[in-house]
Chain A
Amino acid sequence: MRVDLKQVEEACKELYIRALKLLPPDIKQGFSQLDARETDPTGKAILGTMIRNIKVAEDTNNLLCQDTGIPIYNVAIGSNVEVDGYGLKLAIAKGCERATREHPVRSSVVHPTTRVNEHTSCGRSVPVINIDFVPDAQTLTIEMIPKGSGSENNSWLKMAIPADGIDAIKTFVIDCVLEAGGKTCPPTIVGVGVGGTADLCVHLSKVAATRPLGTQCDDPEGARLEAQLTTAVNQLGVGPQGLGGDCTSFAVHVETAATHITMNPVAVNMQCHSARRARATFTPQGLSYGF
């Protein structure tokens, strides 16, 4: 399959807008589950407002949240897909810029020291583009994530040591959730990276934070850890918006990687309740959109 870069550009424009407006079904279902079990009156009222907001966004064709985030595009290329890799990156950035100018939406992206906003949602190394290669021979998928800053500002890395064991990982996650309080716009998805190098560990925490609800880590050790941590963080009483309650997080997600004999790294990255993402799938049959 040969990929038309003009179509990629259009899709990347469309994906940014769709992600900002339509919450994925797994997150909506997550809200229903939290709403059913929240016992704190303030927490319950806050969840009710969040659920109402999802409907208002759909009814008024508006953005769910004003934070258009840092745009991230995750590309998965199948083995029989023919594509100009450099051209693909340019097409993604162009689509991102066009969404920003043509809708328009707020560009939340600035140069890190001059703080100049080019009003394109683009800049040095932004949009963030991650490229992976997958076995689905005739498929190219692009996942778009507008990553909000309230949650992204609450990101941590700890280079723990082997002698501290898995207890260091568990303690670190609990302490990150406590430190974040209401600043991350809870209920959150807590993403935990375990192992790897420092940069891989942080990357895994982002993969975990942005994974659909209801999915499990494909490493049984990671899956066990995420089940335990999901229960534990929801015992802390931080609650929706950090104003108290049972529902601090939809889930804790864990991703693991092998690490060095001397290392025990753990990273935490959070996703806010506006856990937005959108997906475009290119196949020989054409282009389709989903989550």
Chain B
Amino acid sequence: MAHYDFDMPVTEQQIRQLKVNETVTLNGTLFGIRDATYIHMFDRGRKARFDMRGHAVIHTAPNVRKVEKSAEYPAGYAPICIGTTTSARMERFTRPLMEQYGVRITIGKGGLGKASQDAFRDLGGVYLAIVGGAAALETTWIEQIEDVDLDDLNPESLWKFRVRGFGPLLVSMDSHGGSLYTQVAQNSQGRRAAALAALGVKSQA
């Protein structure tokens, strides 16, 4: 399977070439976003000040330490532990984030659904799976918290990280209708009857 190293931001062409089961490693800018950030941006009309065109977002709310602003800590935050949250709760925000901010990559765990799959196809986007719960390792890929917006929502602020060697991440939803989550769910549903039979369940409604 092909592996790609991306210096952020990326073009639509770079995204369209990706297929499920390939891997990607990111360098440069990565934005952190999650529930409250999305809710305030898309349900409460707040505008984020970052230019996120061609960029990647990761579903996260980090552990940080508040410090004096400096060259090392330009946002006044030192990273402690940065990991990834379950993406499914943010499903309805994938399309507006892509349409209004031009984001092309969503990184998360557990996958997204049909609405996001359609947005990836229509607008040129992908979902990259990171291993959830492996935050200590993930933190070693983060060089700096460069900036932060909507920080009244802390820890659910809109974070701007600088990353190096962020990956490998698995392309688990592509812009061609491919989704490993759909494949696995279909396969698992297909095994349900056999599992219930092995348990001696008689009526399998």
Contact = CB atoms under 8 A, between A and B. Distances in A.
**Are A and B interaction partners?**
yes
Interface of A: 42, 46, 49-50, 52-53, 56-57, 60, 62-68, 103-108, 115, 117, 148-150, 153, 167, 170-171, 174-175, 178, 181-185, 228-229, 231-233, 235-239, 241-244, 272-274
Given A53-B137, A104-B63, A237-B184, A181 B82 contact: no
> Top 3 A-B pairs ranked by shortest CB distance?
A66-B83, A57-B136, A53-B134
Interface residues of B, number: 55
B81 A63 contact: yes
Contacts of B183: 244
Given A170-B196, A171-B196, A183 B110 contact: yes
A239 B184 contact: yes
Contact of A185 (B80, B109, B199): B109
A184 B89 CA distance: 12
Interface string B80-122: 1111111011000000000000000000011100000000000
A161 B81 CA distance: 46
Contacts of B203: 167
A67 B83 contact: yes
Nearest to A245: B184
A60 B198 CA distance: 45
17 contacts: A49-B131, A53-B134, A56-B136, A57-B136, A62-B80, A62-B81, A63-B135, A105-B63, A150-B85, A150-B110, A170-B200, A181-B110, A181-B181, A182-B110, A235-B194, A241-B110, A244-B187
Contact of A237 (B61, B188, B201): B188
Given A60-B140, A64-B135, A105-B80, A244 B199 contact: no
Contacts of A243: 129, 170, 172, 180-181, 184
A46 B155 contact: no
B175 interface: no
B192 A63 contact: no
> Quick one: which of A150, A178, A228, A233 has the most chain B CB within 10 A?
A150
